[in-house]
Structure 1
Amino acid sequence: MDLKYGSTSFPLLLPPECLAGVIEPVIPLPSQSPEEVISGALDDCEPMLANFAPGDRVVIVTSDITRYTGSEVYLPLLVERLNRQGIPDRNIEILIALGIHRKQTPHEHEKILGPLHGRIRVSDHDCDDRAGLVTVGKTSANIEVSLNRRAVEADRLILTGVIGFHYFAGFGGGRKAILPGIASRQACMASHFCVLNPQPGSGKNPLATTGNLEGNPVHQAMVEACAMVEPDLLLNTVLSPDKRIVAAFAGEWREAHERGCRSYRELFSYPVAAKADLVVVSCGGFPRDINLIQAHKSMEYASQALKPGGVMILLAECRDGFGNATFFDWFRHRTLDRFEAALREQYEINGQTAYSLLQKAQRFTIILVSRFPDHQVKEMGMTPAPSLAAAMEKAGTLLPPLWRALVMPDGGSVLPVAAP
């Protein structure tokens, strides 16, 4: 078996008696084309679209280039439906939900809009532009919600995006187009801060975890913010690991998203009868392992299949390093208590990811095959290895007799769950 690493791969040699299973999603590809999948979803919400009037000013929110959604397929089909309602192109604007990310280049706008580029007005959200934000209320957790003025003042607001697992919001898509997508920097940070329990020293809320919405405080903050503007329509896609649109969910923003999340969980969860002594996980190669922040997703999912104190081998080239200039700085905090205190004092989303990584590095032995210098890997609490073969050799000295292993060839696309 070959496991991807950057633009190449490593062969994995495991004794057959040690292999407990290969964790990968089995996604039935639809008989319909991506365009037909989207059109079918939009057909189901024709009564909602029928309420749109010719004079309406419409803002469509969609994701930035860091999160592929299939927008070049669904945005033209969505605009076509609006045109059918008598809404001209000049009354339609596409707003890129940057959250706290950088602005997009013209080429990136072209990739997101596809054939609509140059035809439909497009703008980037700016989380720091006070004049471009308007405060719409406070959540039950006392988060002041300030959102993009264009979206708030539009006659009709449509949210688009992609549904996938999120390691502390439960799932992506849906309400995330509003918060953090088009919110102020302060609201973005505050909503993510909900991942921590209210009391200092009490750590991360256990309900703020992958694949869970029930009682999840981060999800709750996002839902409350979204309800303040009551979007008129939601369209979310589900993608196969090779980025093909395999399903789409459209309709009332809350119901359509929850329906999509249920479907995604069924498609991308893998039942595991017993946790393993060793999990060997590849992020799936480039670009999924472009940096450590991206690779953390595979590390998080793989940890769900690993026994306490077990060994994880993570293949993550990380040719672009950490993914954020301040990420590595957080590891000056050697203990989780000190790390948590620093997060509470000055919260950063990248600091939260670093905290989550250190939690796993202290629960398991993580052997990282990457481009990072050995001293940096060790400073993050992990063990460096130059190749998969070298990592397996190191793991062999740590594993118990009669050890069992699980393999994840594309760790960021499937979530191991306890078998019923």
Structure 2
Amino acid sequence: MKSISIPFGKEVQHIELPEDHLLYDLHGNMASIVTNEKEAILRALRQPIDSKPLRDIVREDDTVAIVVSDITRLVHTEAMLPVIVSELNEAGVRDDQITIIVAQGTHRAHTPEEDVIVCGTEMARRLRIVQHDCRDKENLTYVGTTRFGNDVYINAEALQADKLILTGAVSFHPMAGYGGGRKAILPGIAGFDSIMTNHSLALAETQGDGCNPHCDTASLEENPFHQDMLEAAQMVHPDFLVNTVFTADGDLCDVVGGHWRKAWEKGCQDVLATGGVPIEEQADVTIASAGGYPKDLNLYQGCKAYMNAVFATKPGGVLILVLDCPDIKEPEIFTKWFFRSDLDQVEQELRREFLMPGFVAFKTRCIIASMKTCYVVTRPENFDIIRQTGQIPAPDVETAWKMAQQEVPEHYTVTIMGHAAATFPVYTK
């Protein structure tokens, strides 16, 4: 038997599995881990990609807006911000000239405590922090229309600043191909209608065809979802970017900085090199965690585990998702869509009025429908919600595994994905 540890919120779950049935324990590829984070961030600022160093871009009388990801993203913003602000201060930019804009997209605003968690105690005390509100039209400015017909409205304060710095993390994304980079603009600090128009590109062109096949993990070249975001960012033309890159196991392996697109593309190469894992066979059962906190803070974020784990699993197989989800009902609109059983009707309604939470629910429900059974290991107060989605809840992974064993073939195979949101199985056949 082999002992397996699987991330679950801020803790881990344990399970014993027979080694002769274990197909893969996917952890991403080997990568050099950053041992001195401050030094890596400084290098990204002072030896940037296709850009002057940050301190040579700003002037002492500039106002500076720094866009940061919200609490649902693993970024290490609390480590990044002090180094960026120190560089700005050394260039003559005072704290009162700097504004932090939290890129909520359509997510809820932070609480003051969450601002401290994301930005760090000192930065939260020293700097003005603004929560982007995608529905506040008075604080949005039109910047242009993309070739996909998207009228792009962006946070006015970000546009009014003399210099705009984007931060975030490059990661796999199940619709945009990769996260980070241009996503800090759209959807990060964009208007609600601009976000929804962009995200509607994730649907196939024809009713009944479901999801656009080009809008998937690690896909960029023909991906309209990504290309629309790219055009929006080009309209804004950010002055600098700093993005972190993590291994599939959640270790920091790189910090890229410089030109908002070129530096981000280097980050995408790093993510694929570390997180893209070739597999020669799909398993009967995949046991997958999103990667623990904050990736399983809610079911909405946890869905990324489904969208990668499905690539490791045989059609009609079994998924066991390990998701803590203390904030499972956030956002509420997602859970309302997730409960819907008529997927054809859901697709019709999304085409009439696209809502990203509705689409994530739709795509995830399509994955669930393609499986024989989906079990969800979560906290007991979430059980009723999980049942309403057609899945089977379990208090721990051992219980879920005992139930799953009743419906697997005699010569079954199991794949483990402890960081499924950041691990992309590349099925070579």
Work out which of the residue numbers 302, 305, 308 in structure 2 matches 1:295: 302
Counterpart amino acid of residue 119 in structure 2: L
Listed one character per residue, the Cα deviations across residues 297-336 of structure 1 (whole Å, up to 9, x for unaligned) are 1122111101111111222233333432233322454232
Among 233, 237, 258, the alignment partner of 2:244 is 237
Matches within 5 A, 1:309-388: 309-331=316-338, 333-365=340-372, 366-370=374-378, 371=380, 376-388=385-397
**Residue of structure 1 in register with 2:152 after alignment:** 145
Q: Matched residues in 1 for 2:242 and 2:78: separation?
A: 13
CA pair 84-405 structure 1, distance change in 2 beyond 3 A: same
Does the residue aligned with 1:13 lie in a helix, a strand or coil? strand
Once residues 377 and 68 of structure 1 are traced to their aligned partners in structure 2, the CA distance between those partners, rounded to angstroms, is 25
Check 1:142–1:84 CA distance in 2 against 1; reply closer, same or farther (3 A cut).
Answer: same
Q: 2:403 aligns with which of 391, 394, 405?
A: 394
Work out whether residues 95 and 127 of structure 2, in 8 Å CA contact, stay in contact via their aligned partners in 1: yes
Counterparts of 1:267-282 in structure 2, within 5 Å, are: 267-282=274-289
What is the rounded CA distance, in whole Å, between the counterparts of 2:326 and 2:111 in structure 1?
A: 22
What is the RMSD of the two structures over their aligned residues, measured on CA atoms?
2.4
Provide Cα deviations, 1:326-370, integer angstroms capped at 9, x if missing partner: 333224542322220122223222111110111111111222233
Q: Which runs of 5+ in 1 are unaligned?
A: none
Question: Are the aligned partners of 2:105 and 2:187 in contact in 1 as well (CA < 8 Å)?
Answer: yes
Contact 1:59 1:93 in 2 (8 A): yes
Decide which of 59, 65, 77 is 1:53's aligned counterpart. 59
The equivalent of 1:224 in structure 2 is 231
Determine if contact 1:294/1:323 at 8 Å carries over to the other structure: no
276-285 or 358-367: bigger deviation: 276-285
Q: Aligned equivalents of 1:242 and 1:399: distance in 2?
A: 28
C-alpha spacing 1:197/1:312, structure 2 compared with 1 (3 Å): same
Give the 3 Å change call, closer, same or farther, for CA 13–86 of structure 1 in structure 2: closer
Q: Deviations over 1:5-64 (max 9, x none)?
A: 456654423332211121113554536410011011112137253243232222111112
Measure, in 2, the Cα distance between the counterparts of 1:42 and 1:417.
33
Residue 331 of structure 2 aligns to a residue whose secondary structure is: coil
Matches within 5 A, 1:8-407: 9-30=12-33, 32-45=35-48, 47-49=52-54, 50-114=56-120, 115-240=122-247, 244-331=251-338, 333-365=340-372, 366-370=374-378, 371=380, 376-407=385-416
Question: For 1:209 and 1:139, how far apart are their aligned partners in 2?
Answer: 21
Structure 1 length-normalised TM? 0.92
Partners in 1 of 2:22 and 2:416 — Cα distance? 8
Quote the Cα distance in structure 2 between the aligned partners of 1:5 and 1:54.
Answer: 46
Query: How many angstroms does 1:222 deviate by?
Result: 0.6
Rate the CA distance shift 1:373–1:159 in 2: closer, same or farther, 3 A: closer
* Inter-CA distance 88–287: structure 2 relative to 1 (3 Å threshold): closer
Structure 1's 264 and 317: CA in aligned 2 closer, same or farther, altered over 3 A? Answer: same
After superposing the two structures, state which structure 1 stretch, 407-416 or 150-159, moved more. Answer: 407-416
Per the TM alignment, residue 153 of structure 1 is displaced from its structure 2 partner at its CA by 2.1
Q: State the Cα distance separating 1:92 from its structure 2 match.
A: 2.2
Alpha-carbon distance change, 359 to 75 in structure 1, aligned in 2, over 3 angstroms: same
* Matches of 2:292 and 2:59, distance apart in 1: 47
Matched residues, number: 420
Sequence identity of aligned pairs in percent?
Answer: 35
**Does residue 3 in structure 1 map to residue 6 in structure 2?**
yes
What is the distance in 1 between the residues matched to 2:409 and 2:415?
15
